[in-house]
Amino acid sequence: MDIQNYLVVPLAPLVGAIAAGMFGKVLGRTWSHRIAITMVAVAFFQAVRIFQDVMAGHIFDGTVYTWLVSDGATFQVGFLIDRLSATMMLVVTSVSLMVHIYTIGYMSEDPGYQRFFSYISLFTFSMLMLVMANNFMQLFFGWEAVGLVSYLLIGFWFTRPTAIYANLKAFLVNRVGDFGFLLGIGLVLMVFGSLNYGDVFANVAKHVEDIAPIAGMEVNLITAICILLFIGAMGKSAQFPLHVWLPDSMEGPTPISALIHAATMVTAGIFMVARMSPMFELSETALSFIMVIGSITALFMGFLGIIQNDIKRVVAYSTLSQLGYMTVALGASAYSVAIFHLMTHAFFKALLFLGAGSVIMAMHHDQDIRNMGGLRKYMPITWITSLIGSLALIGTPFFSGFYSKDSIIEAVALSHLPVAGFAYFAVVAGVFVTAFYSFRMYFLVFHGEERFGKAHHHDDHAHAAHAAEDDHHDDAHADDDHDDHAHHGLAPGQKPHETPWVVWLPLVLLAIPSVLIGFIAIEPMLFGGYFKDAIFIAEHHEAMHHLKEEFHGPVAMAVHALTTLPFWLALAGVGLAAFFYLKRPDIPAAIQKKFQWIHTLLENKYYFDRFNDWFFAGGARGASTMLWKFGDRTLIDGLIVNGSANLVGKLAYVVRRLQSGYIYHYAFTMVVGVFILLTIRTWFE
């Protein structure tokens, strides 16, 4: 295929974005969404074609145009289309297409309808540019561009104080990650003299022993580059401690939570590390670092999911935790497993989010799971698809999530890194936690007593309070539902009902891969040399090798799993959730009372937001005020500039007094002057 065939994929959604964004008013709602959806569909079908072509062995690495030339280095916009990028393109375009369709229903009453389509199409374009890049610079372009669209979409309802707080926070936290990322790119350019993947990966082995040119630090070069790049991934993929933005990003409309904050953008960091595998493989330190960060995220963010009552936030914390799993897999050098989990997760998490959105629509924009219950009777399609999503998430054998998650656990068990023990504990314990919070939510929403249609326990004061404290925001808003639609949950006596077909059809279409994709893809993707050209694994990192030896087909794997610890932990999690929330709701309440401090800790999300607000945001504001008032105004302007002006002014005042304008003053001065001069003259003679 030549370059035009590849260009179609990102450019089609861009056309859609421009049409809906700039001509949305002229086109109207229907035509805007028709064009946007058609364009994403074009991208999807073209991605399928490219995928087939790549599977036939045609790898493409070429330039679209030269962006800049300087100092012998050429910066280009170009594509690298191999199995890794082709897979990502499929995931991105297919989920995006589902979300586009879903949006017709979800946003139907929103005045910003065209703007929304424009944003999600623009996002699709940016994300595609990111995954298709053949160089670091374009990667960074896409990286920041998806960040921009994420910012725009989190703040989509820009009149809500919480939304515009969340989007600023998301952008800035991501910028902290990008800061590291850019420095990493800088070191790459400096050492390799090029930013093209091909040039860098071909030469990376020569620099294994190099010391990083960082004054005052004796760090291995590759380690330094990898860790700096990974800091970028920590921002984008919301890894501890840069995870803080993701839960707040739920302020955005649900379709984008599915597309951006679950399926695609947040996985960019995972993709990036997998893409850079030839480099990361050379640094055990960096891999260990990645594994530790991933483990912490996988386990501790899961805990937070347990106490959330906002349906989207539960799913958000589960996303954080699952991203942690992927990161752990990267640390274990099981890049293909990470990408595999990325793919299955994209489908079932998008499904869960869109399912949550469907529930939210049915509940008239009440997101509190304590106000739901028994919804399965009213919305059977949402119920079944959500159940499928949840089963996939917790790793039920034969479901897609099982194959990917179990492979991660196995890979970690086989990893030789010194931190693998902790990581193994975290990912196994995480299974229980995941099962527990997922089914807690599932039971509270779809089963049990119908709690909707009652007067709800939160009020509008929360919003007013937020508006007032806006910039001194703290996170006491964990359980209000930020709704600026007129309706606020179901009225008494009102019943929820199934959402229109544009909403449930994507659920069904996503449910299919959520069940099947793991079963189908595991063998070729993990063990068939699928990524052999895209992902490099060092000889001595044998986890994948052993994993392959232990693998005897997907059925055997699922059957074998029935006897392993993770399966029983998952079952225990589901059982406990059923017992607590269906049979004995008094027990969790009692536990919460007894272990109040734990609950408070979790409710405050380990106090990260508080700390960041106090230390970083407050610190920056304080430093700013001090520097400005003392440095600029008092010292430079007050003392030096105006001070010297005043001095001149005072001197001038004295001198001016002499210029009186009276002849006799001048005559007198002259006489005195002559007298003095003559005196001096005679003196010296």
Kindly indicate which of the ranges 83-91, 166-174, 283-291, 507-515 contains the residues binding other proteins, using the contact rule CB under 8 A: 166-174
Task: Indicate the burial class of 159 (C-beta count within 10 angstroms; 0-12, 13-18, 19 or more).
Answer: exposed
Map residue 379 onto helix, strand or coil.
coil
With binding defined as CB under 8 A, does residue 164 bind other proteins?
yes
Could you tell me the smallest distance in angstroms from the CB atom of residue 215 to other proteins?
6
The reply to whether 623 sits near other proteins by the rule CB under 8 A is: yes
* 369 contacts: CB under 8 Å, gap ≥ 6: 309, 310, 311, 314, 441, 444, 445
Q: How far is the CB of 304 from other proteins (least distance, A)?
A: 26
Q: Which of residues 28, 186, 380, 649 is near other proteins by CB under 8 A?
A: 186
Inter-CA distances, 182 with 187, 211, 643, Å: 9, 19, 43
Binding mask 19-58 for other proteins (x = CB under 8 A): ----------------------------------------
Q: Helix, strand, coil % (nearest 5) of the chain?
A: 75, 5, 20
Does position 625 interact with other proteins (CB under 8 A)? The reply is yes
User: Cβ of residue 168: shortest distance to other proteins, in angstroms?
Assistant: 5
* Residue 113 contacts other proteins per CB under 8 A: no
Comparing CB distances to other proteins, the nearer of 140 and 530 is 140
One of 155, 302, 305, 513 touching other proteins (CB under 8 A): 155
Cβ atoms 328, 407 nearer than 8 A:
no
- Window 626 to 685, contacts with other proteins (CB under 8 A): 627-628, 631-632, 636-637, 640-641, 645
Query: Is position 158 an interface residue for other proteins (rule: CB under 8 A)?
Result: yes
Instruction: Write the single-letter amino acid at 348.
Output: F
For 553, residues 6+ apart whose C-beta sits below 8 A from its C-beta are 523
CA gap 87, 90 in Å, rounded: 5
How many positions of this chain bind other proteins (CB under 8 A)? 54
Q: What is the nearest approach in angstroms of other proteins to the Cβ of residue 324?
A: 25
d(CA 344, CA 394): 12
Contact between 141 and other proteins by CB under 8 A: the answer reads: yes
If the CB atoms of residues 138 and 295 are measured against other proteins, the closer one turns out to be: 138
In whole angstroms, what separates CA 283 from the centre of its chain? 25
The residue from 28, 62, 213, 380 that contacts other proteins (CB under 8 A) is: 213
Q: How far is the CB of 637 from other proteins (least distance, A)?
A: 5
Q: Could you say which of 208, 467, 559, 671 contacts other proteins (CB under 8 A)?
A: 467
565 touching other proteins, by CB under 8 A: no
Does residue 553 touch other proteins according to CB under 8 A? no
Distance CA 417, CA 281 (A): 12
CA–CA separation, 19 vs 86, rounded Å? 26
Max Cα distance, the chain (Å): 123
Q: Binding marks (x or -) toward other proteins, 65..94, rule CB under 8 A?
A: xxxxxxx-----------------------
CA angle, 134 then 94 then 261, to 5°: 80
The nearest distance, CB 189 to other proteins, in angstroms, is 5
d(CA 46, CA 495): 43
Query: What contacts 266, CB < 8 A, 6 or more positions away?
Result: 236, 237, 238, 246, 260, 319, 323
**Binding of residue 13 to other proteins (CB under 8 A):** no
Given the rule CB under 8 A, which residues bind other proteins? 65-71, 137, 140-141, 144-145, 148, 151-152, 155, 158-159, 161, 164, 168, 171-172, 175-176, 178-179, 182-183, 185-187, 189-190, 212-216, 467, 620-621, 623-625, 627-628, 631-632, 636-637, 640-641, 645
